[in-house]
Structure 1
Amino acid sequence: MSESHESSQRSRQQQDGGTSPLGELSNQPTVARISGLALGSTDNVELDLDASLASLSHFPESIDFTREGRQYLYRAVRFLAGEAGITQFLDLGSGLPNENNVHQVAREHHPHARVLYADHDPVVIAHARDLVAGDDAAAVIQVDVTDTDAVLNHPTARLILDLGQPVGVVMSSLLQLIPQDDVARGLVHRTMAALPSGSYLAFSSTIAPDSNDRDALEKAGTEVGVGLKYRTPAEVNAWMEHLEPVDPGLCDVRDWRPDPNQTPLPDPHPSVRHLLGESERGRRGYLHGGVLRKP
């Protein structure tokens, strides 16, 4: 690493102000690291494995859902960069890096696409910074992503993003991590309100249409220290009423412009690999999402 890059990294860390307002999370299981197991990540610790296996005993089909969400993310970003012409992206709650990260997919269409990743998990931040090291058009900030002002007014955000031009916002499997409906809704509204016409939102969120399933799944997650909020499609769709859905609209992400020829994902972590295909036995929930344009 060059001296200038080390200086740049130190500057970004100082600008981030240390740990996230949500607190230091390296000593407790996090959804980002547990989800990483479904994508073959080894950037996890023993407590992630324990929590994941405990959670999966209640919801084994979530391995499939996580992988479906990652494949949808690729297709959504490909649409934004390719068809919609978006050249700058804000990835909120970005999670652990994997293959085909937002800046990599976007640059298949725009070699100089600019991407700001934001997350609060210190393990995510460390690995994401390694991924974009030396890249002047991609950066990572550690921040409470529900604090829109803190994100958009961050010094690094001002370097990466031009908020006078359309931005592609990514909220991939983020909203279910926010249990308060008003906070989740406010995040969508405030973020998109701060961006110009022609900006887009690509999101996905866990859904459980049956109330009994929702209660059981939320209880199981809480018991192992990984709380998720399961909502209905109608509840989530209501937060998007000021945006225009792109065809085919908001749906199970498996059905959002499926592409049987897209690059396969890495195998899951060996500890959870046996759960691949569990969703074929039954789907009590699924990932709901789509891409929407700000008029």
Structure 2
Amino acid sequence: MSVDPGHEWVPPGVDPERPSVARVHDALLGGQENFASDRSVARRLKDAVPEVVNLVWCNRAFIGRVVDFLVREAGIRQIIDLGAGLPTVENTHEVAQFADPTCRVVYVDIDPMVEPHANALLSGNPYAAAVTADVRDAASVLGHPSLTRVIDLSQPTAILAIGVLHLFSDDEDPHGLVKRYMSALPPGSHLAASNMLAAVNPKAQALEAMLHATMGTGYFRDRESIAAYFDGLVPVDPGVVHFPEWRPDERIPGPLASWEELLLGGVARKP
């Protein structure tokens, strides 16, 4: 669906005047599934941190490498992608099913625009689905009929919580949320998680301030707090690191750029 700026189609349940994380992300990637309110936020984020577009693409590349590892090396054949956002290039199911066409993937996002667009992309694909749900309600997500149709929760499953946990405040207990998902899965399941890294880095401070000003969210955390997402799990090498350092396709040419230091994440296995 292409957006005509003069006659934007608004799906049921969508408030075009209120920016959403998924649509702002789409705008930063140069997509068309967004509204003027989302594009305004994207412009303000780019003004505050011009490298934010690079950061979003770095996030996409990290997801791609993680999914490829999960399928090719960890033997995972089921993936639940939390806070998946709008479809873009090299989606989770595309990477997973390139490695094994029978891999099963379910996308979960609270934005009601995500499900219809994902379903259009997934038409005719029996091994993938999209669910409109609040990822903070783990029981409802895991019990959703569209998810249980695709995912057998008695079998090892990977939870992707990449680019979503920094949206939740400490009062919303993102660490407890991760534990609720992982406790519902059998041994051999994996968690891939990330959070924006709190730092003296002026890029971090500028981006966190702008996220709060435009979206009312964005909770950067220190390294210890991010590592705590994986408590009780067996870490996968190289552990919790900056995204470009996690199993890079090519040798990192030199020191990380300041914006690359904002992203911290890793993968771990449930024993």
**Above 0.5 in TM-score?**
yes
Cα separation, 2, equivalents of 1:127 and 1:74: 20
Higher alpha-carbon deviation: 88-97 or 29-38 = 29-38
Report the counterpart of residue 49 of structure 2 in structure 1.
Answer: 59
Greater relative contact order: 1 or 2 (C-alpha under 8 angstroms, separation 6 or more)? 1
Report the counterpart of residue 67 of structure 2 in structure 1.
Answer: 77
Write the deviation string for residues 140-169 of structure 1: whole angstroms up to 9, x where unpaired.
110111101001111112111111110011
In 1, are the aligned partners of 2:153 and 2:185 still within 8 Å (CA)?
yes
Report the counterpart of residue 290 of structure 1 in structure 2.
Answer: 266
**What is the RMSD of the two structures over their aligned residues, measured on CA atoms?**
2.2
Report the counterpart of residue 35 of structure 2 in structure 1.
Answer: 45
Q: Does residue 103 in structure 1 map to residue 79 in structure 2?
A: no
In 1, are the aligned partners of 2:80 and 2:158 still within 8 Å (CA)?
yes
In structure 1, stretches of 5+ residues that fail to align are 1-17, 262-278
Cα separation, 2, equivalents of 1:123 and 1:205: 24
In 2, are the aligned partners of 1:25 and 1:121 still within 8 Å (CA)?
no
Alignment partner of 2:197 out of 190, 207, 213:
207
Q: Which amino acid counterpart does residue 191 of structure 1 have in structure 2?
A: Y
Secondary structure of the corresponding residue to residue 125 of structure 2 = coil
Report the counterpart of residue 81 of structure 2 in structure 1.
Answer: 91
In 2, are the aligned partners of 1:29 and 1:48 still within 8 Å (CA)?
yes
In the superposition, the TM-score normalised over structure 2's length comes to 0.87
In 2, are the aligned partners of 1:55 and 1:221 still within 8 Å (CA)?
yes
Write the deviation string for residues 44-65 of structure 1: whole angstroms up to 9, x where unpaired.
1111111111122222222221
In structure 2, stretches of 5+ residues that fail to align are 1-11
Write the deviation string for residues 47-101 of structure 1: whole angstroms up to 9, x where unpaired.
1111111122222222221111100100000000001111111111111111111
Which segments of structure 1 move beyond 6 Å, counting only runs of 4 or more?
none
In 1, are the aligned partners of 2:25 and 2:56 still within 8 Å (CA)?
yes
1:131 Cα deviation after fit: 1.1
In 1, are the aligned partners of 2:244 and 2:260 still within 8 Å (CA)?
no
Write the deviation string for residues 2-26 of structure 1: whole angstroms up to 9, x where unpaired.
xxxxxxxxxxxxxxxx96xxxx554
For 1:164-183, what aligned pairs fall within 5 Å after superposition? 164-180=154-170, 182-183=172-173
For 1:1-295, what aligned pairs fall within 5 Å after superposition? 24-180=14-170, 182-210=172-200, 216-260=206-250, 280=257, 282-283=258-259, 286-295=262-271
In 1, are the aligned partners of 2:192 and 2:266 still within 8 Å (CA)?
yes
Q: Which amino acid counterpart does residue 288 of structure 1 have in structure 2?
A: L
1:32 Cα deviation after fit: 1.6
In 1, are the aligned partners of 2:78 and 2:157 still within 8 Å (CA)?
yes
